[in-house]
Amino acid sequence: MIQSRTTIAIPSLVRIKSGALEKLGIYCCRYGFNNIAVIASSDIPGALMASAKKALAAADVQTHQWFSCSEASFEQAQSIFVSLPGDVSAIIGLGGGRALDVAKYVAFLGRLPNIAVPTSLSNDGFCSPGASLTIEGCKRSLPAAMPFGVIIDTGSCLAAPKQLWLSGVGDLAAKLTAVRDWKLAFHATGEPVNDFAALLSDATVFQFISRPIRDHEGARLLGTALMLNGIAMEVCNSSRPASGSEHLISHALDQISARPRMHGLQVGVATYIVSRLQGEQTDTIRSLFKTTGFWDEIRNDPFSASEWVEAARQAVTIKKGFYTVLSSRDCVDEFRSMLENDSTLTGCFVA
């Protein structure tokens, strides 16, 4: 059920451009964040770390502590929170999704502004109202505050492995099937649809589809689209604008697969299959994935067909009361048939 909101939090500081990381200290100073703590991915490239440190030092921003984040866990977030100096005025999350989720949750615990500085564009989690963390090894989605700031250096994101970019493309395409599932839920159960959030989510996808090229402008479009999808979730206080049956399939895979893959890659393939079940947007998604090289990436490391059929079977049990196309009928046989016979998926699955 979508709940009404009295206030909507959106980032006040947004910079999505080449060289943004080099001005990180300047951006912090403009908003009075002179005493900060940084939570950075443990595997962040040394050059990016050096650039961030140099930018902060050049603006005389006091960095009380640099925390290295190797896992997205509640336990690590709790440990970092306990270690925070009392005069910290903001938390910066720097690197990949794990560090950004931990930073977001630490800032939420401390009621501190959070600045998200993703160094890749693999999903929309850097600007969402929740944090995906494990608790004693079990993944949970925990409430958190939206980032005060989002700083995306398009050059840094383009330097990241292409697989991360394609993961972001897959996660973005999922908004098409997610919004369709939302509307199906309205007709089947009366679940209300927030039209503005749905429109915002749809618009972000087509903005990128108009120019799906992996260059600075493409990175700006993809980064902006993923950020606005996070804001769409905040607008309606629900994951509905960004997550539907394609995400349920991916969550099931995370639980049953012998080797779960990157979130956006799983979600992207599931999006294409779900679009066929829904009977909408299939050509658009197929074309986007062909243009960007998404299908080639999947064929380089095919999925297990048997695992995916089982994931389709289990997906409807993942989120109680969450109506999607998978709830409308038994889709398992259709799902299996597509894996075996859809020429677009040739080479994407092995027995």
* Interval 87-137: pLDDT, tens: 999 999 999 999 999 999 999 999 999 999 999 999 999 998 889 999 988
Coil, strand or helix at 133 = strand
The CATH number assigned to the domain with range 162-350 reads: 1.20.1090.10
Residue-wise pLDDT tens digits, 274-325: 999 999 999 999 999 999 999 999 999 999 999 999 999 999 999 999 999 9
- Does 162-350 match 13-159 at the fold level? no
At 65, is the pLDDT very low, low, confident or very high (cuts 50, 70, 90)? confident
Where does residue 254 rank: exposed (0-12), middle (13-18), buried (19+ CB within 10 A)?
middle
Domain boundaries, the chain: 13-159, 162-350
Using CA atoms, how far apart are residues 40 and 243, in angstroms rounded to an integer? 27
Q: Which CATH number fits domain 13-159: 3.40.50.620, 1.10.3720.10, 3.40.50.1970, 1.20.1250.20?
A: 3.40.50.1970
Which percentage of the chain shows pLDDT scores above 90?
90
Using CA atoms, how far apart are residues 40 and 38, in angstroms rounded to an integer? 6
Helices 263-278, 245-256: axis angle to 10 degrees equals 130
In this prediction the pTM is 0.94
Q: What is the mean pLDDT of residues 227-251?
A: 95
Residue-wise pLDDT tens digits, 126-149: 998 889 999 988 888 898 989 999
